[in-house]
A and B are shown apart, each in its own frame.
Chain A
């Protein structure tokens, strides 16, 4: 696919469907993300937000529809679903951070961050380590370089997980409710790291329940419900002046607290 067919959108989803058995989770999602844009996806549990992210990096290949990354289609027979080369193309460009951190427990923070560059990119240890140290410093973890995950708080683990994803030089970062498993007092340190990343121009797709973060950092907000995008637009429009009834209901419930 050429760049022209996606009108220059960095990441484009067209009519993406995904089912798990009888459960039709995504029912035709459309989404455009431009380079350097921060997109927040909000919506009730079970609306398909996480599945959407997992489709984008092909952890769950969609059954129907098209996903284009940097102008190349990554779905379908020509794309990637069954083709390691295509999956490679995607995973080397897309970094992901998970709700449960998923750090490798048998490795130190340094080991977690360097594993991808060492084994996937096959870079030399002497090149990888200084960069990993810089990344850990960037997420405020320079004092814990040699600690193992079970000695780190949730917030610290999540910051290491962000550094681990950044170590692969991703072109776009996916965040899957990365603060939902954290104690309240640890949320800010992770959001601050994400805010800095956004300011540096990283393209980000953020599934979140943090409405303040969405309002302040996002360029675009997508509200999902029932496996489709119900409403999208600038955060000020979607969050403060929603047009759709379902969006109003959801925000009414969320913002009361």
Chain B
């Protein structure tokens, strides 16, 4: 028992290294928020492309479906290695300098290159996950809504923009938040590229002091954010269900929707 306490909960080490660990966690937070926002936007683009009507847009639909299939099926770690390896090589003499330095080894906004490789990879991957969540939301909007929008003269695009997507997004906020929690945890993988995130710092402390308390401190910091977020998701779902039970005609399909979405919104890691 003493070993466990000393190895994982050495409060002396935790106190001494708090500053460094917090710095690493701040990196994690920035990476999570930026990648999260970018994934939300990219996922919505993919979902809307996937719902385009008509024969002329079929290639766009197929591309979007293929993209989603591919990036939901590849481990994020592989994407990270492929993105970082590709971009850095293509912008160096070995790769013929196909890409300019600012794009291949970005250091925008004072962030490091591994940070941006992380943003690209997380957005590419989580965009695909979130596209599926949006799709569930779009499909959960009753068909009468599109018909009503079309019957007041709106084109498909206008109807999506002002009628379907606003309703769909409201329905899927909880599962999107779940995906965000998963994304936040997955940011830890960028440590393999040498990004100075909370895991990287924890490992450094571990190898310097032969002690896991730095890593444990990182885990605790994660929990301080992810548990309240999980509670928020629960609260939002409960509120939506309450609203459904109170009735109101447009909510007629919602109960079934909630069940469908509850299944579709599961965390994927």
Residue B151, interface by CB 8 Å: yes
Cα distance A57–B150 when bound, in Å? 9
- Known A-B contacts A59-B147, A100-B144; the reply to A88 vs B249 at CB < 8 A is no
Q: In whole Å, how far is A141's beta carbon from the nearest beta carbon of chain B?
A: 15
Residue A157, interface by CB 8 Å: yes
- Indicate with 1 or 0, residue by residue over B136-170, a CB within 8 angstroms of chain A CB atoms: 00000010110111111111001000110011001
- Known A-B contacts A98-B148, A115-B162; the reply to A149 vs B153 at CB < 8 A is no
Interface residues in A71-115 (C-beta closer than 8 Å to B): 84, 88, 91-92, 94-96, 98, 100-106, 115
Known: A59-B151, A96-B151, A98-B151. 8 other contacts (CB 8 A): A91-B153, A100-B144, A104-B145, A104-B148, A105-B251, A116-B152, A149-B250, A151-B248
Interface residues of A (CB under 8 A from B): 57, 59, 84, 88, 91-92, 94-96, 98, 100-106, 115-116, 119-121, 149-151, 154, 157, 161, 164-165, 167-168
Determine if A98 and B144 form an interchain contact, defined as CB atoms under 8 angstroms apart.
yes
Cα distance A92–B153 when bound, in Å? 6
Residues of B within 8 A of A149 (CB): 248-250
Residues of A within 8 A of B149 (CB): 104
- Known A-B contacts A91-B152, A120-B153; the reply to A106 vs B147 at CB < 8 A is no
- Indicate with 1 or 0, residue by residue over B90-120, a CB within 8 angstroms of chain A CB atoms: 0000000000000000000000000000000
Determine if B163 and A88 form an interchain contact, defined as CB atoms under 8 angstroms apart.
no
Binding site of B, secondary structure by majority: helix, strand, loop or mixed?
Answer: helix
Determine if B152 and A115 form an interchain contact, defined as CB atoms under 8 angstroms apart.
yes
Residues of A within 8 A of B166 (CB): 106
Residues of A within 8 A of B162 (CB): 115, 119
Interface residues of B (CB under 8 A from A): 142, 144-145, 147-155, 158, 162-163, 166-167, 170, 243, 246-252
Q: Which of B147, B152, B154, B247 has the most C-beta atoms of chain A within 10 angstroms of its own C-beta?
A: B152
The answer, among B154, B246, B249, B252, for a CB contact under 8 Å with A116, is B154
Determine if B249 and A168 form an interchain contact, defined as CB atoms under 8 angstroms apart.
no
Determine if B151 and A91 form an interchain contact, defined as CB atoms under 8 angstroms apart.
yes
What would 19 A/B residue contacts be, using CB atoms closer than 8 Å? A59-B151, A88-B153, A91-B151, A100-B249, A102-B145, A105-B248, A106-B170, A115-B152, A115-B154, A120-B152, A120-B153, A120-B154, A120-B158, A150-B243, A151-B248, A157-B249, A164-B152, A165-B151, A167-B152
Q: Which of B147, B163, B250 has the most C-beta atoms of chain A within 10 angstroms of its own C-beta?
A: B250
Q: In whole Å, how far is A222's beta carbon from the nearest beta carbon of chain B?
A: 21
Residues of A within 8 A of B163 (CB): 104, 115
Cα distance A150–B150 when bound, in Å? 22
- Minimum-distance CB pairs A-B, first 7: A150-B248, A105-B250, A116-B152, A102-B148, A102-B144, A96-B151, A120-B153
Cα distance A157–B155 when bound, in Å? 24
Residues of B within 8 A of A115 (CB): 152, 154, 162-163
Q: In whole Å, how far is A124's beta carbon from the nearest beta carbon of chain B?
A: 17
- Known A-B contacts A106-B170, A115-B162; the reply to A101 vs B153 at CB < 8 A is no
Cα distance A237–B154 when bound, in Å? 40
Residues of B within 8 A of A165 (CB): 151-152
Residues of A within 8 A of B142 (CB): 100, 102
Cα distance A155–B155 when bound, in Å? 28
Cα distance A92–B151 when bound, in Å? 8
Cα distance A154–B248 when bound, in Å? 9
Question: B246: nearest residue on chain A (CB-CB)?
Answer: A150
Residues of B within 8 A of A88 (CB): 153
Determine if B144 and A95 form an interchain contact, defined as CB atoms under 8 angstroms apart.
no
Determine if A84 and B151 form an interchain contact, defined as CB atoms under 8 angstroms apart.
no
Cα distance A50–B126 when bound, in Å? 43
Question: A161: nearest residue on chain B (CB-CB)?
Answer: B148
The answer, among A100, A105, A120, A168, for a CB contact under 8 Å with B167, is A105
Determine if A106 and B167 form an interchain contact, defined as CB atoms under 8 angstroms apart.
yes
Determine if B148 and A119 form an interchain contact, defined as CB atoms under 8 angstroms apart.
no
Determine if B250 and A150 form an interchain contact, defined as CB atoms under 8 angstroms apart.
yes
Residues of A within 8 A of B243 (CB): 150
- Known A-B contacts A96-B151, A106-B167; the reply to A119 vs B158 at CB < 8 A is yes
Residues of B within 8 A of A96 (CB): 148, 151
Cα distance A98–B151 when bound, in Å? 10
Residues of A within 8 A of B145 (CB): 102, 104
Cα distance A59–B53 when bound, in Å? 13
Q: Which of A101, A105, A161 has the most C-beta atoms of chain B within 10 angstroms of its own C-beta?
A: A105
Cα distance A165–B153 when bound, in Å? 10
Residues of A within 8 A of B147 (CB): 59, 98, 102
- Known A-B contacts A98-B148, A102-B148, A104-B148; the reply to A154 vs B154 at CB < 8 A is no
Q: In whole Å, how far is B138's beta carbon from the nearest beta carbon of chain A?
A: 14
Determine if A119 and B249 form an interchain contact, defined as CB atoms under 8 angstroms apart.
no
Residues of A within 8 A of B155 (CB): 84
